[in-house]
Structure 1
């Protein structure tokens, strides 16, 4: 996860390419739904009204049950303003003994959408005993959303040069990032300063109590691993069975976080190229190394002269950055990348523009289906406030470019991002060890582009009870990737508490 102006959404891209179902539409409440009963256990002092609030449930059209939860905008001021969270609840298919909360990452991905997917992906033995719950984090999705730039201005931001070349371009890029933060503050008020991961983790504890669970079982993917790890740090005694898939290393600063992703995406691009050149139809030719150089040359060309794209929207270097990156999240998307590159090499940028639109959830009519492309910056910069100078970043750039000629310059400059965010954070990420929590399963995929395998190794070591589970493969995250060994290990842990053997590789 990059905490930068080139931040990459950590979510399941094949699902995005296929089009996600919206799981949050309301109907009337089914008469045979027995709502969960809140715990009577003592709530944290001053927060009693939130931990014991009465929820009003309605049926979602997909078969789940939906409710709104009220939480304080600022936990330091529980008597002050509040915000709304929306959640979906899928009851267990048997006699429920637990509830598994799920989160797909981002930050900015919809947990409500993800729950609709995970209720089908989790094994029968898991679903027989466990409800599946998705809570859109504060500021995200169907919870009271953070509102920042209007669509047209965000279009310009997304298409802007990710690696500005001179003083004027650098100043303009930095100013645009600051302007986004000011827009969040102007349009969303106090909420803009209170969408940190620490506060989201505290929200999850409120919902845990409201659905009547003494322990929080958790399946977090990508940034959802960081959210889970923060919960374990804040509430170690309330952790149940926790799985962190496609793990983030929360200990990294902005430069090293960007560099880790730089390595991850280049590793994935190299794997794609090596696979592509085996085909006679590969747009990269017959040599993988030369093919990657061809992509790097395309990025340079786009920096100087964007290609025709969709309507009056051109394929800029910025949109190509996202359009290429989004297809590396899943090996099943590599064929899309080949199509997009083949067209771009012939002077047609339309497909890569459309892929970038998928990444940002931009609709054909120019609207955005979610605020994910903007809220990621708000959350990331509250978690990891900036402090870098331009000189710091320029010093690091050669190392980035040497590792990745395609992504390096953009990700190096992107590390500067949060230094320009105008909103002060009161809740930065804590140091995480989760001491006191039961075993936490951390999963890493060896050629994961967005959360490199090394990040999973690091998080498993940082967590006092971390257990590393390895998937040898391509793409972002491991569960539901078709790897039977991973499925067996995760389902076994979530169903009956069997912890994978240390050192297990699938």
Structure 2
């Protein structure tokens, strides 16, 4: 199946915090340490990190990108205990003309998405020329992600099996099997990742960003964060409001929501995105979900998933396409309306017995390469999520109680997404965060961007975050897909470029179509 470059970027780089098929780890929690040092000793130890110098060199592959390694403490409460992390950094220097405005840090979301990959494959060459001319574009893989001390949990064959686990258990034995798969994933996480599992929170990643800001020589942070990257940016602003320069938070998360509400809202978001896809599909004679209306399309897709649950179809390789992988493939394509043609083709083929197209989409979501190897996105994702917030559910019984609400949010995806939210119940490290609003009092103007039919970060979240941050302006894109900047709206791009180059935010309430 032909996947366009823009679709690959949208699917592979800007995932939200959806807990799809992710399991936590069960084993011993990180071991406690002894008495905390004094505040003065902590400040003195941190000073050495803030005063470090980066040693830049040409990145592998060249193309004008430089790479370096930033040293950060594993535990910011005990920065003098000798436990350091090595965090990968990359940049592309301002190309000119015009006066250099400093560094522009970027993060594509996830959590677990590689910021360096995003910079080198898209932002460093695809951001508007006038922005690239004035800023050094900079990316740092967050702790636990990609090239920065990556979290790992399973071997590739084990991960293949995990992604095929039945996510819609219909009997006690299937429920036990699902829980067992989470626990197996869990044991792998604990065995392979160790102490870093307790130190990959968003707060710690935001503190790493402040280290990098200082080491780069920037008095204030300029930043574009997408999806989960908005939570990272808003957390930074709340921690260091006086160090905020120009922040763009695109496809916003709502930090005040508990995990169950987040998962339920995202379930409704995917239903909204599917409705938009179905409305477009049924107008076409070749639509595999019928040509009548959205309810018919919904019924046909649900029936198709049910058939796959009992009878997976061939894919041209040993893996067969069952309900779980098919659901993942459909959800992946709903991140960007540019993937709708591929989704129609993949569904049509799968309904005729060839699941290779949907499997390709699912593999893009899971960052599975053609050689069968997985990137660490799906390991870092729960590591961050389960540390940031208490679990949505603690037992299978909790999930069953929630099913009516999830299925009301989405008759198609509700059951699978409810069960996938059980993952953090098995995490080995206690959560360090709680849901709470972020205000960033005293920060410079911040731009929050929301897309009205965003599947993964519903528009209501952008409105909520903009209302929480005391200096925020909400910029609205009336359209489909996940995030808005750089996705074809001249209105959105002009507003954001102007803000980045001049510091002037768009007018309050500005909407783009």
Q: Do residues 57 (structure 1) and 51 (structure 2) align?
A: no
Which residue, out of 178, 191, 213, partners 2:196? 191
Q: What residue in structure 2 maps to residue 422 of structure 1?
A: 428
User: CA offset at residue 277 of structure 1?
Assistant: 1.6
Q: Do residues 203 (structure 1) and 204 (structure 2) align?
A: no
Which residue, out of 150, 155, 159, partners 1:145? 150
Which residue, out of 101, 104, 110, partners 2:108? 104
Q: Where does the alignment leave 5 or more consecutive residues of structure 1 unmatched?
A: 1-10, 21-42
Q: Distance in 2 between matches of 1:310 and 1:227?
A: 40
Which residue, out of 493, 505, 510, partners 1:499? 505
Q: Do residues 219 (structure 1) and 221 (structure 2) align?
A: no
Q: Distance in 2 between matches of 1:211 and 1:283?
A: 52
**Aligned with 1:467: secondary structure?**
strand
TM-score by length of 2: 0.88
User: Contact 1:357–1:363 (CA<8 Å) still a contact in 2?
Assistant: yes
Q: Deviations over 1:184-243 (max 9, x none)?
A: 222122111111111111111111111001101110000100100111111111111000
User: CA offset at residue 399 of structure 1?
Assistant: 1.9
Q: What residue in structure 2 maps to residue 175 of structure 1?
A: 180
**Shift in alpha-carbon separation, 1:389–1:295, aligned structure 2, 3 A:** same
Q: Distance in 1 between matches of 2:316 and 2:228?
A: 31
User: Contact 2:11–2:335 (CA<8 Å) still a contact in 1?
Assistant: no
Q: Where does the alignment leave 5 or more consecutive residues of structure 2 unmatched?
A: 15-41
Q: Distance in 1 between matches of 2:430 and 2:118?
A: 31
Q: Distance in 1 between matches of 2:12 and 2:429?
A: 36
Q: Distance in 2 between matches of 1:143 and 1:13?
A: 26
Q: Distance in 1 between matches of 2:435 and 2:123?
A: 27
User: CA offset at residue 429 of structure 1?
Assistant: 6.0
User: CA offset at residue 437 of structure 1?
Assistant: 1.2
Q: Deviations over 1:150-169 (max 9, x none)?
A: 11111111111112222232
User: CA offset at residue 311 of structure 1?
Assistant: 1.4
Q: Do residues 265 (structure 1) and 267 (structure 2) align?
A: no
Which residue, out of 399, 414, 425, partners 2:405? 399
For these two proteins, the number of residue pairs brought into alignment is 473
Q: Distance in 2 between matches of 1:296 and 1:320?
A: 11
Q: Distance in 2 between matches of 1:428 and 1:69?
A: 28
Q: What residue in structure 2 maps to residue 486 of structure 1?
A: 492
User: Contact 1:264–1:451 (CA<8 Å) still a contact in 2?
Assistant: yes
User: Contact 1:69–1:84 (CA<8 Å) still a contact in 2?
Assistant: yes
**Aligned with 2:45: secondary structure?**
coil
Q: Counterparts in 2 of 1:56-455, with a 5 A limit?
A: 56-60=55-59, 61-80=62-81, 81-94=83-96, 95-116=99-120, 117-287=122-292, 288-368=294-374, 370-386=375-391, 388-427=394-433, 431-455=437-461
User: CA offset at residue 428 of structure 1?
Assistant: 5.1
Q: Do residues 14 (structure 1) and 8 (structure 2) align?
A: yes
- Once the two structures are overlaid, the 10-residue window that deviates more, 111-120 or 382-391, is 382-391
User: Contact 1:12–1:104 (CA<8 Å) still a contact in 2?
Assistant: no
Q: Distance in 1 between matches of 2:44 and 2:12?
A: 46
**Shift in alpha-carbon separation, 1:219–1:403, aligned structure 2, 3 A:** same
Q: Distance in 1 between matches of 2:45 and 2:436?
A: 22
**Aligned with 2:209: secondary structure?**
helix
**Aligned with 1:344: secondary structure?**
helix
User: CA offset at residue 44 of structure 1?
Assistant: 4.3
Q: Distance in 2 between matches of 1:181 and 1:207?
A: 32
Q: Distance in 2 between matches of 1:186 and 1:361?
A: 22
Q: Distance in 2 between matches of 1:17 and 1:242?
A: 23
User: CA offset at residue 346 of structure 1?
Assistant: 1.0
Q: Distance in 2 between matches of 1:439 and 1:65?
A: 30
* Root mean square deviation of aligned Cα: 2.0
Q: Distance in 2 between matches of 1:88 and 1:450?
A: 28
**Aligned with 1:307: secondary structure?**
coil
